[in-house]
Amino acid sequence: MAAIPLEKEIHYPESDGEPMAETKHHLQEMVYVWECLEDRFESEPEVFVGANLFLYYRKGDPTAVVAPDGFVVKGVPKLLPGDRERTRYLLWEEGPTPCFVLETTSTSTRRKDKEKQEIYQRLGVAEYFQFDPYGDYLDPRLQGVRLKGGRYQEVQPEPDGSLLSQATGVLFRAEGDRLRLTDAATGALLLRNAEKTKALRESEERIRALENELARLRRQ
């Protein structure tokens, strides 16, 4: 009879060596969501935003794992003791279950993402959204479910087709093959890094133009 390994001998890998996303475009959308949610909860020390991180949900079983493209957990610190970044999420050690998960899906990940939905439901993930950038199989491309009475029910879209995430306070809307996130409370658009850079550059150009105009008027 094979010996049962001690808990300290069980290894929970941090990666499977597979690419983070199906395509560069899928990766860009994953990063955009992660950056937006990071900014959204920047001032809240007990909210962790993860992306493509192995989440182990059964102690002693390294095969009981999912890797959400993006997720939010409330009630845990952003960093581990010693200011260490998480390289995996061990549910039995951390405690809280993610309240929100987003998967950027495609035909090749369709079955796996469906299996994930069943796992997330069992774990008690409050909201599970899926975005299919190329419309491979989801119509509409953005869909979501919300936990009610222990079972997932479809999130009904807003009049403009967006989905409200109650767990994050963010509106998710598909604009063709891209996502657009908006702060539900303020209506402020959550910009991509490239958009932030462009907006900053344009603001600096306006300031310089104003300074030049003021200088010209003083010389008259």
The ranges assigned to domains in the chain are 10-187, 192-220
Residue 195 has pLDDT above 80, yes or no: no
What is the percent of the chain with per-residue pLDDT over 90, rounded to a whole number? 71
Q: 9: pLDDT confidence band, cut at 50, 70 and 90? A: confident
CATH number for 10-187 (one of 3.40.50.300, 3.90.1570.10, 1.10.10.10, 3.40.50.720): it is 3.90.1570.10
pLDDT computed for residue 199 by the predictor: 57
C-beta separation of 145 from 101 below 8 A? no
For residue 119, give every residue at least 6 positions away whose Cβ sits within 8 Å of its Cβ, in sequence order, or none: 57, 66
Whether the CB-CB separation of 10 and 62 falls below 8 Å is answered with yes
pLDDT tens, position by position, 86-135: 999 999 999 999 999 999 999 988 999 999 999 999 999 999 999 999 99
Considering the chain, what percentage of its residues have pLDDT values greater than 70? 84
Q: Give the CA dihedral 30, 66, 17, 85, nearest 10 degrees.
A: 70
Per-residue pLDDT at 117: 96
Instruction: Note the pLDDT of residue 197.
Output: 63
Confidence at residue 24, expressed as pLDDT on a 0 to 100 scale = 87
